[in-house]
Amino acid sequence: MPLTGTGAITTAAASAARGVGAFNVIQLEHAQAIIAGAEAAHAPVILQISENAVRYHGALAPIGVATLAAARAAKVPVAVHLDHATSIELVHEAVESGFTSVMFDASALPYEDNVRATAEVVEHCHAAGVWVEAELGEVGGKDGVHAPGARTDPAEAAAFVAATGVDALAVAVGTSHAMLTRDAALDFELIARLRAAVPVPLVLHGSSGVADELLTAAVDAGMTKVNIATHLNQVFTTAVRQALAGDVRLVDTRRYLGPARTAVATEVTRLLGVLKATLPGDDPRPAR
């Protein structure tokens, strides 16, 4: 199945009140596991590569080319997304490489500067047919826009979308990045108000900290794209630790990365069910 546009996947899900799982890739095993999990769930999925992951690999190409190749070989619709990019140059490289979307994060800037920078990114990406996500909210604490007390104002969000032309908006409704516990308290009344005010799909960042039942409720309230990274890293790392603890002589990396890949695939399948992401019917079809 060919690589699928992020916009096609997300817009179709929003129209059908389904969620879309957007999971972060650090190693190739992550990409393989996420795709395997999506195939088992008969659901589309978004593979995300963050600016931090690019920095870890030293460049976008090594992990980007591998992830795009894995996506093109998938049996379900798969998009490849650049996550939390603050570098304009990196955005341009992702567009040239064939990524189907980018998330440009200028949320730490003053509002007017955020609008100006984001609008410039949107113009460049739309000229290449690439979908753009941006972020808006009150900056506070070391967690930035997604400190637990941060909230996005619906009127400001609607104005931001109109001024920038972005295709989706990440909003602050009670989550925080890199949470290791799943006890975040979501503001469902605010999600509903944002859904009514904002004409593009809403994105929930920091979803690793949200319990299953609240993730489902967030989709029901109007969230579409749901980003999950830390939770899957916990699953991956736990499986590696168990494999190594079970055999102190184990040195073949395939013998512990393989079980980790399988564990993540199983969890992705489960989470896609929680997000109501499964396509209707028995056969996965590309979103249109």
Helix (H, G, I), strand (E, B) or coil at 208: helix
Give long-range contacts, CB 8 A cutoff, 24+ apart: 207-211: 207/175, 207/231, 208/178, 208/179, 208/180, 208/182, 208/232, 208/234, 209/175, 209/176, 209/179, 209/180, 209/181, 209/182, 209/183, 209/184, 210/175, 210/182, 210/184, 210/186, 211/182, 211/183, 211/184
CB 287 within 8 A of CB 14: no
Please report whether residue 279 resides in a domain.
no
Please report whether residue 11 resides in a domain.
yes
Alpha carbon distance 38, 76 (integer Å): 7
- Annotated active-site residue in 83, 105, 143, 167: 83
Containing H/E element for 48? strand 45-50
Split into its structural domains, the chain has a count of 1
pTM as predicted: 0.90
- The whole-number pLDDT of residue 181 equals 54
Instruction: Say if residue 284's pLDDT is above 80.
Output: no
CB 163 within 8 A of CB 131: no
Please report whether residue 242 resides in a domain.
no
Instruction: Show the tokens assigned to 71.
Output: 């996506």
CB 216 within 8 A of CB 275: yes
Q: Which domain holds residue 94?
A: 6-229+264-274
Alpha carbon distance 10, 287 (integer Å): 8
- Measured in whole angstroms, the distance separating CA 76 from the mean position of its chain's CA atoms is 17
| 191-247 residue pLDDT tens | 999 999 999 999 998 777 788 889 999 999 999 999 999 899 999 999 999 999 999
247 is catalytic: no
What residues are paired with 47 via a beta bridge? 23, 80
Please report whether residue 121 resides in a domain.
yes
Please report whether residue 211 resides in a domain.
yes
**pLDDT, mean of residues 61-69:** 97
Alpha carbon distance 249, 246 (integer Å): 9
Instruction: Show the tokens assigned to 80.
Output: 């490849």
Instruction: Show the tokens assigned to 241.
Output: 């630790």
Please report whether residue 53 resides in a domain.
yes
Please report whether residue 190 resides in a domain.
yes
| 133-190 residue pLDDT tens | 998 764 333 344 455 567 888 999 999 999 999 999 999 886 555 555 555 667 888 9
Please report whether residue 98 resides in a domain.
yes
- Measured in whole angstroms, the distance separating CA 205 from the mean position of its chain's CA atoms is 7
Closest to 279 (Cα-Cα) out of 70, 13, 34, 69 = 13
Q: Residue 17 region, left (φ>0) first, then alpha (ψ -120 to 50), else beta?
A: left
Chain position carrying tokens 């969890």: 267
Q: What is the CATH number of the domain that holds 59?
A: 3.20.20.70
Instruction: Say if residue 100's pLDDT is above 90.
Output: yes
Alpha carbon dihedral 178, 208, 113, 124, in 10-degree steps, equals 120
